[in-house]
Amino acid sequence: MSAEKELRVRPIRNGTVIDRILAGQAMNVLKILGIKGAYSDVVTMAMNVPSKALGQKDIVKIENRELEEKELDKISLISTGATINIIRDFEVADKYQVELPEIVESMVKCINPNCISNTKEPVTSKFEVKKDPVQLRCIYCENIITENIAEHLL
């Protein structure tokens, strides 16, 4: 199978492969998953892998973990085309593309320091999502985030 050539490190038995990540975003995906220094399971990351469809892509593989809804939503914000491959017993058991949510709540910090969502008030941030390119519009102050969304993730 052609995937053999891509498997530079040992295959995982159970876990998740996040494929077709926008080149350059793999580190941010790790950040979203809370993988910083010490982590008990096998994690592999590949950056700037040649890809027919994308030119280049990043890949992240994590053993023994399936992702939560919120993590998937965050990944969709920084890499709309990423695919999630659930690996069970070395085989791809399920495969789907991340989906941009219409509203993101408590995931992103508003860039406007004077926004009510950035005060001690009991409100969490809430954005409307627009596609192509991804734009987040704060429902409170209407400021729009278009660039470096990864930097504003909560």
Partner 1 sequence: MRFERRHIISMKDFTRDEMEYVLDRAAKLEPLARGGRSDLLAGKILALLFYEPSTRTRMSFETAMLRLGGNVLNLGSKEATSIVKGETLADMIRVVSTYSDAIVQRHPSEGSALMAAEFSSVPIINGGDGAGHHPTQTLLDLYTIRKESHLDNLDIAIVGDLKYGRTVHSLTYALSLYGANITLVSPPQLKMPDQIKADLKARGARVRETENLEETLDCIDVLYMTRIQKERFPDPTEYKKVAGAYKITTGHLGNVRDSMIIMHPLPRVYEIDSSVDTSSHARYFEQSFYGVPIRMALLTIVMGVGV
Ligand X SMILES: Nc1ncnc2c1ncn2[C@@H]1O[C@H](COP(=O)(O)OP(=O)(O)O)[C@@H](O)[C@H]1O
Specify whether the backbone of 148 is left (phi greater than 0), alpha (psi in -120 to 50) or beta: left
Tell me how crowded residue 142 is: count the other CB atoms within 10 A of its CB: 11
Residues 95-124 that bind Zn ion (CB under 5 A): 110, 112, 115
CA separation for the pair 96, 67 (Å, rounded): 12
Tell me which residues touch ligand X (CB under 6 A). Answer: 3, 6-7, 11-12, 17, 19, 59, 61, 85, 87, 90, 92, 95
Tell me which residues touch partner 1 (CB under 8 A). Answer: 112, 114-117, 119-123, 138-144
Tell me how crowded residue 95 is: count the other CB atoms within 10 A of its CB: 12
Answer with the entry of ligand X, Zn ion, partner 1, none that 4 interacts with (C-beta below 5 to 8 A by kind): none
CB of 16 to partner 1, least distance (A): 36
Answer with the entry of ligand X, partner 1, Zn ion, none that 7 interacts with (C-beta below 5 to 8 A by kind): ligand X
In terms of DSSP bridges, do strands 43-51 and 15-22 run parallel, antiparallel, or are they unpaired? Answer: unpaired
Task: Report if residue 139 touches Zn ion, rule: CB under 5 A.
Answer: no
Answer with the entry of ligand X, Zn ion, partner 1, none that 123 interacts with (C-beta below 5 to 8 A by kind): partner 1
Q: Which CB sits closer to ligand X, 12 or 108?
A: 12
How many alpha carbons fall within 13 Å on the CB side of residue 115? 21
CB of 139 to partner 1, least distance (A): 7
CB of 116 to partner 1, least distance (A): 4
Torsion of CA 100, 93, 54, 147, to 10 degrees: 30
Sheet arrangement for strand 15-22: 43-51, 55-63, 15-22, 83-88, 91-97
- Residues in the site for Zn ion, rule: CB under 5 A? 110, 112, 115, 138, 140-141
